Amino acid sequence: MTLIETARAVRENAYAPYSKFKVGAAIKATSGAIYAGCNVENVAYPEGTCAEAGAIAAMIAAGDTRIAEIAVIADSPKPISCCGGCRQKIAEFADGDVVVTLTTVDGVTAHTTVADLLPGSFDADYMSRV
C-alpha cells in the first residue's frame, strides 16, 4: 500500500463529529516502516489531535525516530497543508529535504518539502547554550 493509500484508509477512521473534516496522514520512517494517523476531535476544540501528530506518535511508540516521507489527505477543494504545530512536530523528526505529499480525496496533489513548509524552523541548534 502506498503512503497516499494508507493515509486515505486511515482517514476513514477519523473522529470528526464537530467539524466533519476528516484528515489522514501516513509517514514512512527511515526504517521503511509506515505509520498512520487520523485527526481525533474533542468537544473542547484545542484538545483535539491532528492526523500528522497521531502518525508521529505511532512512529515514536514503535521505536522509529526519523521520517523519510509524509502524505496527508483530506476532502477539500485543494490539497490540505499541515497546521503550524504539526509543521514543527514534523521538523523535529525529518530533514528539510523530506518530501511531503498533500492531496485531496479527488486526487488533486501537491508536493513540497519540510523546509518549504516551515522555513526558519526552530531546531536543536538554538538550544546549544542550555
Q: Tell me which residues are annotated as active site.
A: 52
Q: Transcribe 93-121 into DSSP letters.
A: HEEEEEEEEEEETT--EEEEEHHHHSTT-
13 has binding-site annotation: no
108 has binding-site annotation: no
12 has binding-site annotation: no
74 has binding-site annotation: no
41 has binding-site annotation: yes
Q: 14: buried, middle or exposed (CB in 10 Å: 19+, 13-18, 0-12)?
A: buried
H-helix segments, the chain: 3-11, 51-61, 84-93, 114-117
Annotated binding site for Zn(2+), which residues? 50, 83, 86
Annotated binding site, which residues? 39-45, 50, 83, 86
Annotated binding site for substrate, which residues? 39-45
